[in-house]
Structure 1
Amino acid sequence: MKSAHVIADDAEALAVAARFAEEFRTGAAERDAGRLLPRAELDRLSASGLLGITVPRGHGGAEVSARTLAEVFRLLATGDASLSQIPQNHFVYVNVLRRQGSAEQRKFFFAEVLAGRRFGNAQSEAGTKHVQDIRTRLEPRPDGSYLLTGEKHYSTGALFADWIPVLARAADDKLHVAYVEAGAPGVTVVDDWDGMGQRTTASGTVRLVGVAVPADRIVPHHLTFTGPQLHGAVAQLLHAAIDAGIASAALREAAEFVRTKSRPWFESGFETAAEDPLLVQRFGELALCARAADALLAAAAEAVDTATADLTDDSAAEASIAVAAAKVQAATAAVEISSALFELAGTRSALDSLNLNRFWRDARTHTLHDPARWKIQHIGRYVLSGTRPPRHGLL
């Protein structure tokens, strides 16, 4: 088993994340251009203890707040959006164990996480009716174990994982999560991700053919949605944090480029591009967009923390709506600012050798995860009629 440092509290988690954001920024463009998978960087994240920060205190973890967790992801995304996306599912499936794992399952898996072992993800499927149409099956065996069969796509983190949580349906058609060892017989992880953005997430295919799964590695995920829940809110909060981080990184890169490399437009009458009042105006507008994303992200995280302390239908709804608002704004900011970077920096910024388009490619790819238009619908219904948002993992 790997060994890892155990982070003590929120302050240490934020300090570690800030340090890694700076370190990962160096080399991010090169990794993206060459699709150099960040195995060494992920090993350092694991060893730092950052992947164990949501383990409950009763199990030896820091149990950081949602506010801290969101900021950790935002910081990491300012350094490398692909690297920040890889552990998103790790934290989601740690959260599944917190909610529905048995005492023995929590004891075992939380020890694994604190030791530096990583969860991946195998949930989405291609060719089905919709994202909730899960056809991977858990078939019971006479000895009480199960056989797992199916094929998963967009399996971010699976290539780098020690454990792969698999979303599957049992004989009663109810949803479960099977925690499968990455090297188990019948498990194949294929590095076939060819997205235009987030190139180094290795979000490829997981094939599962007659994989034996002990009963004590299966969690009844369907129970998560029978009452007020924050599963979707926490998952979406991390996605929003990644988008907010991309927006901040793109704005910073644009400002640095204009300050140090751009020439002033001859009609401006100024000696430097940074003095051009038209550019100043546009930077101000984009800064407001980024600040709004950061503010809504912080407010959403606070709403999740409030609901965690007193989980009711009302507090869960408030948290989901707050997170939906943050996700919409962060997605808008990430796409708009990463596109405006070229408008602001000028012709030279389009050189492929600079790889500045990675910010837009990452933003455009990541924000396709789930449609903002449906989040806006739920926000509108909540405001107009008090209709609580539905209970599912995407809100």
Structure 2
Amino acid sequence: MSAHVIADDAEALAVAAELAEEFRAGAAARDAERRLPREEVRRLSASGLLAVTVPAEHGGADVRQETLAEIFRLLASADASLAQIPQSHFVYVNVIRRQGTEQQRRFFFAELLAGRRFGNAQSEAGTQHVQDIRTRLEPQADGSYLMTGVKHYSTGALFADWIPVLARAGDGALHVAYVPRDAPGLTVVDDWDGMGQRTTASGTVRLDGVPVPADRVLPHHLTFQGPQLHGATAQLLHAAIDTGIAAGALAEAVAFVRTKSRPWFESLAEGHASAADDPLLIHRFGELALLVRAAEALLREAARAVDGAAAHLTDETAAEASLAVAAAKVQAAQAAVEVADALFEVSGTRSALHSLNLHRHWRDARTHTLHDPVRWKIQHLGRFVLHGTRPPRHGLL
């Protein structure tokens, strides 16, 4: 496999904008038919976008988080499912940056520059809570491991070359094992049946005595022993996806009202010849534009906070970045759901036709915003404002 190597932030944004327009054309049909975007994911790899956070000393563009967030926002405005597929990819690139040995970094960064993709096998069903990880790494006499467990919601795994797996060692410490997609004992099942994000293939990964060499295991528990941005960078990309969904839904509503909607008869009687001239609709579009603009502004602010904290990482800067991302995620989730719902309100009865598949925006928004509860993000914002309590160190904030 070979891939273009992107040089800098400007090129990364230009490539993302071009691919977003390319992917937009088939998004509705892919969703309606649940046609998995294998060719589109291949195009992402070949474009070099999946390697843009590789450090400069290893040959990558090492783009800012502000740039990465905008890449995800652009892609999600075109196809929210497609944008979600590489989210975990970048999360596990960050794990290598923070916890990988020099040898591990050299190996995996070369893989990324060649266009290889990371998937995700982290969440488990039937456990007490989301961080109750029961997949186990069993040590072998030669220093390697055998890994056993079952993972659900494994977005990206079906398209991956490497699947990072969250697992616990014998002492209970959390690790990430990077496993080849074709490893013996590893099975990826395409059984995702969500109402939205239909083409993410977020199915099941089964691990039945999967062999893992020692140099493919990273000590993820160390990530949370000091100030860290692991959760903030992961959540920033989720916020970018929701912001993109909101922007995409608003653009679809604008196009529909301009070209397909009939004016309401009372508006017509007052001299407004088209639906787009209806003052009540204009007012509603203004409200929706405010929601999207607020989400975009908070996303930029959060990304800059993460970039700033990465340059000068302390407990204080990490907390500021986490709270900024929390605020962006709350606003983005609210904007995505409300704007995607209001698309029908402003567009009228015809917009509800199943054949148009405009409801994919709402289904995607409603599904993706369930990823983690925004109520707890608001809780941490409130605790900080009232008591100066810094947010906890974990991967979901």
TM-score strictly above 0.5: yes
Q: Does 1:129 align with 2:131?
A: no
Match of 1:9 in 2: 8
Give the TM-score normalised by structure 2.
0.99
Match of 2:36 in 1: 37
Q: Output one character per residue of 1:62-87: Cα deviation in whole Å (capped at 9) or x when no partner.
A: 00000000000000001100000000
- The 2-side partners of 1:370 and 1:54 are apart by 25
Corresponding residue SS for 1:117: coil
Match of 1:48 in 2: 47
- The 1-side partners of 2:45 and 2:252 are apart by 28
- The 1-side partners of 2:182 and 2:388 are apart by 48
Q: Output one character per residue of 1:104-152: Cα deviation in whole Å (capped at 9) or x when no partner.
A: 0000000000000000000000000000000000000001000000000
Q: Output one character per residue of 1:19-67: Cα deviation in whole Å (capped at 9) or x when no partner.
A: 0110100010000000000000000110010000000000000000000
Q: Output one character per residue of 1:271-303: Cα deviation in whole Å (capped at 9) or x when no partner.
A: 100010110000000000000000000000000
| Pairing 1:49-68 to 2, within 5 Å after superposition | 49-68=48-67
- The 2-side partners of 1:340 and 1:188 are apart by 41
- The 2-side partners of 1:143 and 1:67 are apart by 43
- The 1-side partners of 2:328 and 2:225 are apart by 25
Match of 1:192 in 2: 191
Q: Output one character per residue of 1:308-363: Cα deviation in whole Å (capped at 9) or x when no partner.
A: 00000000000000000000000000000000000000000000000000000000
Corresponding residue SS for 2:148: strand
| Aligned residue type for 1:228 | P
- The 1-side partners of 2:198 and 2:291 are apart by 26
- Please state how far the C-alpha of 1:385 moved relative to its aligned partner: 1.1
Give the TM-score normalised by structure 1.
1.00
| Aligned residue type for 1:166 | V
Corresponding residue SS for 1:264: coil
Structure 1: give runs of 5+ residues left out of the alignment: none
**Aligned residue-pair number:** 394
| Aligned residue type for 1:304 | V
| Aligned residue type for 2:250 | L
Corresponding residue SS for 1:199: coil
What root-mean-square deviation, in Å, do the aligned CA atoms of Structure 1 and Structure 2 show? 0.4
Q: Does 1:103 align with 2:96?
A: no
Q: Output one character per residue of 1:201-260: Cα deviation in whole Å (capped at 9) or x when no partner.
A: 000000000000000000000000000000000000000000000000000000110000
| Runs of 4+ more than 2 Å apart | none
- The 1-side partners of 2:158 and 2:253 are apart by 33
Q: Does 1:382 align with 2:381?
A: no
| Aligned residue type for 1:277 | P
| Aligned residue type for 2:129 | H
- The 2-side partners of 1:25 and 1:49 are apart by 19
Match of 1:79 in 2: 78
| Aligned residue type for 1:280 | I
Match of 2:364 in 1: 362
- The 1-side partners of 2:323 and 2:263 are apart by 44
Corresponding residue SS for 1:201: coil
- The 1-side partners of 2:387 and 2:5 are apart by 46
| Aligned residue type for 2:293 | R
| Pairing 1:210-229 to 2, within 5 Å after superposition | 210-229=209-228
Structure 2: give runs of 5+ residues left out of the alignment: none
Q: Output one character per residue of 1:158-194: Cα deviation in whole Å (capped at 9) or x when no partner.
A: 0000000000000000000000000000000000000
Match of 1:372 in 2: 374
- Please state how far the C-alpha of 1:379 moved relative to its aligned partner: 0.3
Match of 2:305 in 1: 303
Match of 1:235 in 2: 234
Match of 1:292 in 2: 294
- The 1-side partners of 2:236 and 2:3 are apart by 26
Corresponding residue SS for 2:363: helix
Q: Which of 314, 317, 337 matches 1:315?
A: 317
| Aligned residue type for 2:358 | L
Corresponding residue SS for 2:199: helix
- The 1-side partners of 2:158 and 2:43 are apart by 16
Q: Does 1:254 align with 2:253?
A: yes
Q: Output one character per residue of 1:81-109: Cα deviation in whole Å (capped at 9) or x when no partner.
A: 00000000000000000010111000000
Q: Output one character per residue of 1:347-390: Cα deviation in whole Å (capped at 9) or x when no partner.
A: 00000000000000000000000000000000001111110000
- The 2-side partners of 1:380 and 1:191 are apart by 40
Match of 1:120 in 2: 119
| Aligned residue type for 1:161 | A
